[in-house]
């Protein structure tokens, strides 16, 4: 398949690209807190949440300490689609979004009347920064007869340029719906998810053009090491997120979004699962299916070169300490230009309506 939007080498890891490495290099080392310090932060945060009419909306990939805190409050731990829906339906006046920046922006676009805070504004995503608006918009302009479908992991500017926003939970269904009505598609930014969609729907030729982006966490999963692991655990089912490379998805027993992976672990008969997605999801997996065993799929981190090792370094920037500081000082507020927000709302609303109708 040779319809990628840029001519970068196919073997080049996204983490090796200059703009991604620059961002990774800026991530400060994580301060390890004692059990007592964590408990103190948790207590103080719970008091502030009530005093400031705030809920926490966090992603499955964040630190289990944050997910446990949400379990004790009225917040939400979810995938990005459910985070968006929860935030817009919530009656709280302030949303504390723990995740990466595009999640905070999405929350603000959907709830412009709410204050949206984040523990840090520096947490980004290799998919988001790999799809800059000027280059992407120029690419779209070269293909005016294509519908532009972008993944939720994009900036507000890129969403505003799109016809549709989707998450991994509904990506295949939305593209299938558009192809069925005769549309051709620009898919951005995740090339692995794009290839999965092409394969799944049997799309041919230039029906779907792919932007050349990838997630630094999921592109680390390696087929040979996964095969070795399957020999060790012959009864285990492989559950994979579609941001993983196609060779991994082809051997997986189930491919789906984070929520779909959790549901599969609960409902499938197997007792052991090899899981190819960010390791933050293990907290919810173990909670949802406590008698089952979950094994991390192998990454290229067997050597000394791993920059992610199945843990998103940007998700890891969300700590109790930063959350507390942001809540106390009402800092790290997400701002989205109102006009841009209105434009981005159109494809986002299509996403939410599609989910609700299907």
d(CA 7, CA 5): 7
Among 41, 187, 211, 314, binds ligand SF4 (CB under 6 A): 314
User: Do 140 and 150 form a contact (C-beta atoms < 8 A)?
Assistant: no
248 near ligand SF4, rule: CB under 6 A: no
CB of 242 to ligand SF4, least distance (A): 11
Helical (H) or strand (E) element with 238: strand 237-240
Among the residue ranges 30-38, 63-71, 213-221, 260-268, the one whose residues contact ligand SF4 (CB under 6 A): 213-221
Max intra-chain CA distance, the chain: 59
d(CA 80, CA 77): 9
153 near ligand SF4, rule: CB under 6 A: yes
CB of 317 to ligand SF4, least distance (A): 10
61 near ligand SF4, rule: CB under 6 A: yes
Q: Which two tokens stand for residue 217?
A: 């966490």
238 near ligand SF4, rule: CB under 6 A: no
Among 85, 278, 285, 299, binds ligand SF4 (CB under 6 A): 278
User: Do 252 and 288 form a contact (C-beta atoms < 8 A)?
Assistant: no
171 near ligand SF4, rule: CB under 6 A: no
221 near ligand SF4, rule: CB under 6 A: no
165 near ligand SF4, rule: CB under 6 A: no
299 near ligand SF4, rule: CB under 6 A: no
Residues contacting ligand SF4: total by CB under 6 A: 14
Contacting residues for 216 by C-beta, under 8 A, at least 6 apart: 13, 14, 15, 20, 24, 126, 307, 308, 312, 313
Integer CA distances (angstroms), 88 to 50, 97, 104, in order? 19, 12, 12
100 near ligand SF4, rule: CB under 6 A: yes
312 near ligand SF4, rule: CB under 6 A: yes
20 near ligand SF4, rule: CB under 6 A: no
Nearer to ligand SF4, 41 or 61 (CB): 61
Query: Treating both helix axes as pointing N-terminal to C-terminal, what angle do 101-110 and 80-89 enclose, rounded to 10 degrees?
Result: 40
d(CA 31, CA 222): 30
216 near ligand SF4, rule: CB under 6 A: yes
Among 56, 96, 186, 217, binds ligand SF4 (CB under 6 A): 217
3-class DSSP state for residue 146?
Answer: strand
Among 77, 315, 348, 351, binds ligand SF4 (CB under 6 A): 315
User: Do 50 and 75 form a contact (C-beta atoms < 8 A)?
Assistant: no
CB of 285 to ligand SF4, least distance (A): 16
DSSP code, position 32? P
Which residues contribute to the site for ligand SF4 (CB under 6 A)?
61, 100, 125-127, 153, 215-217, 243, 278, 312, 314-315
């Amino acid at each position: 398949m040779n319809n990628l939007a840029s001519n970068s080498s196919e073997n080049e890891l996204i983490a090796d690209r200059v703009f991604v490495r620059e961002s990774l290099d800026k991530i400060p080392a994580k301060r390890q807190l004692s059990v007592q310090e964590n408990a103190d932060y948790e207590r103080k945060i719970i008091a502030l949440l009530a005093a400031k009419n705030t809920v926490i909306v966090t992603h499955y990939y964040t630190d289990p300490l944050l997910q446990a805190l949400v379990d004790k409050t009225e917040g939400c731990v979810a995938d990005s689609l459910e985070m968006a829906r929860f935030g817009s339906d919530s009656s709280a006046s302030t949303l504390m979004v723990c995740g990466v920046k595009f999640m905070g922006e999405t929350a603000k676009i959907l709830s412009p009347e709410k204050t949206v805070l984040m523990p840090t504004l520096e947490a980004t995503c290799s998919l988001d920064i790999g799809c800059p608006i000027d280059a992407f918009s120029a690419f779209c302009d070269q293909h005016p007869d294509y519908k532009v479908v972008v993944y939720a992991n994009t900036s507000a500017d890129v969403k505003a340029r799109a016809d549709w926003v989707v998450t991994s939970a509904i990506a295949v269904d939305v593209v299938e719906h558009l192809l069925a009505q005769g549309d051709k598609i620009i898919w951005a930014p995740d090339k692995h998810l794009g290839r999965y969609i092409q394969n799944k729907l049997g799309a041919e030729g230039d029906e779907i053009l792919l932007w050349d982006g990838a997630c630094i966490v999921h592109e680390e999963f390696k087929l040979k090491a996964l095969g070795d692991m399957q020999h060790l655990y012959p009864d285990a089912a492989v559950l994979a997120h579609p941001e993983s490379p196609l060779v991994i998805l082809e051997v997986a027993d189930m491919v789906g979004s984070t929520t779909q992976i959790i549901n599969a672990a609960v409902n499938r008969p197997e007792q052991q699962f090899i899981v190819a997605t960010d390791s933050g999801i293990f907290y919810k997996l173990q909670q949802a299916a406590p008698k089952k065993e979950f094994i991390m799929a192998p990454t290229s981190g067997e050597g000394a070169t791993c920059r992610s090792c199945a843990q998103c370094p940007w998700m890891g920037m969300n700590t109790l300490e930063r959350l507390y500081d942001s809540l106390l000082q009402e800092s790290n507020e997400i701002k989205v230009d109102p006009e841009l927000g209105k434009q981005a709302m159109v494809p986002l609303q299509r996403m939410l309506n599609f989910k609700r109708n299907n």
